[in-house]
């Protein structure tokens, strides 16, 4: 399927309705036009959860055009289990379509949180971890970005206003086609998010909030929040002289480490549980 047509489906997908017998169908052109008439007045409202999901899905597709998915299903399942454990303890445990975690087959040290709950972690970053608690720290940080809606908030407000304004008139005019300029506006929104999470990175404030959220999630989920200190220490050592991956898009690791150290209190005494989790991590990542 051509890229424009595929994007058009993503744009129109939120407007699917249940037809006879429960079958899903796209709203007829007239209905889209009626909906679109109110879009301009709604343009200043926040992006809702279903819209965030479709933007995030498109961002994920763009990331997968740059990186390959790891083909180890057991590792993917394990990462999902750990990710879901911390996500359930976040301030946003139930986004529109839930959280989904996947591994990227690259040695680059990185992780990406797409709007709506699709989260990628690279093999390189998993291999930087020494145990499950450290992996949980990585995933909890990315969940923090989703919970705080950092990705969706990186879309230019002016651009999203244009999307709303064009939604009805353009979709009605181009119904059955590719929704011409609307596709262009949607692609621009995807560019905003992709450039933020893959190229430029979030603000220092957003990263600090994601780290703080991760510490809370780890504690609530029964992991050792001190694992984030150990992981950031290892990353600081690996990052010396590095300029790509997570070291390009995140604040200096030394700054993150100092703030996390100041926030972490006494780690829970759970040596037996930690040993079991570490053994599981070694088995799944070897």
- Cβ atoms within 10 Å of 165's Cβ, excluding its own: 18
Backbone angles phi, psi at 251, to 5 degrees: -60, 160
CA 67 to CA 105: how far, in whole Å?
7
Q: What is the DSSP letter of 153?
A: G
- Cβ atoms within 10 Å of 184's Cβ, excluding its own: 16
Q: Is 200 helix (H, G, I), strand (E, B) or coil?
A: helix
Provide the whole-model pTM: 0.78
Per-residue pLDDT tens for 61-103? Answer: 999 999 999 999 999 999 999 999 999 999 999 999 999 999 9
Q: Which helix (H) or strand (E) holds 156?
A: none
More reliable by pLDDT, 2 or 148: 148
Q: Is the dihedral of CA 156, 159, 165, 167 positive or negative?
A: negative
Which are the contacts of 208, defined by CB distance < 8 A and separation ≥ 6? 256, 259
pLDDT at 198 over 90: no
Q: What is the residue-averaged pLDDT of the chain? A: 79
How many CA atoms does the CB half-sphere of 108 hold within 13 Å?
A: 20
Q: Among residues 115, 4, 110, which one has the least CA distance to residue 60? A: 115
Residue with tokens 């933020």: 196
pLDDT at 209 over 90: yes
Which are the contacts of 100, defined by CB distance < 8 A and separation ≥ 6? 80, 117, 118, 119
Q: How many residues does the chain have?
A: 286
Q: Is the dihedral of CA 90, 96, 99, 102 positive or negative?
A: negative
CA 26 to CA 29: how far, in whole Å?
9
Per-residue pLDDT tens for 232-282? Answer: 999 888 866 556 667 666 777 888 889 999 999 766 556 778 999 999 999
Q: Is 222 helix (H, G, I), strand (E, B) or coil?
A: coil
pLDDT at 14 over 80: no
CA 63 to CA 112: how far, in whole Å?
9
Instruction: Report in angstroms the alpha-carbon separations of 119 from 41, 87, 114, 238.
Output: 33, 11, 6, 23
Using only C-alpha atoms, what is the Rg of the chain?
Answer: 21
């Amino acid at each position: 399927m051509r890229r424009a047509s595929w994007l058009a489906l993503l744009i129109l997908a939120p407007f699917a309705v249940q037809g006879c017998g429960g079958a899903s169908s796209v709203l007829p052109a007239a209905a889209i036009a009626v909906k679109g008439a109110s879009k301009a007045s709604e343009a200043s409202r926040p992006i809702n959860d279903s819209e965030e999901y479709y933007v995030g899905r498109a961002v994920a597709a763009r990331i997968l055009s740059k990186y390959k998915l790891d083909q180890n299903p057991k590792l993917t399942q394990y990462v999902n289990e750990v990710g879901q454990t911390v996500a359930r303890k976040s301030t946003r445990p139930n986004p529109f379509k839930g959280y989904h975690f996947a591994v990227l087959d690259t040695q680059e040290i990185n992780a990406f949180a797409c709007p709506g709950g699709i989260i990628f972690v690279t093999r390189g970053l998993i291999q930087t971890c020494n145990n499950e608690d450290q992996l949980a720290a990585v995933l909890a940080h990315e969940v923090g970005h989703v919970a705080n809606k950092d990705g969706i908030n990186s879309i230019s407000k002016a651009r999203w206003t244009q999307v709303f304004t064009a939604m009805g008139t353009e979709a009605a005019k181009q119904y059955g086609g590719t929704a011409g300029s609307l596709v262009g506006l949607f692609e621009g929104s995807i560019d905003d998010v992709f450039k933020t999470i893959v190229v430029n990175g979030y603000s220092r404030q957003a990263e600090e909030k994601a780290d703080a959220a991760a510490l809370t999630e780890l504690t609530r989920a029964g992991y050792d929040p001190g694992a984030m200190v150990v992981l950031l220490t290892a990353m600081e050592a690996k990052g010396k002289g590095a300029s790509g991956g997570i070291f390009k898009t995140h604040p200096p690791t030394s700054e993150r480490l100092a703030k996390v150290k100041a926030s972490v209190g006494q780690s829970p005494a759970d040596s037996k549980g930690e040993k079991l989790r570490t053994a599981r991590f070694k088995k799944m990542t070897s």
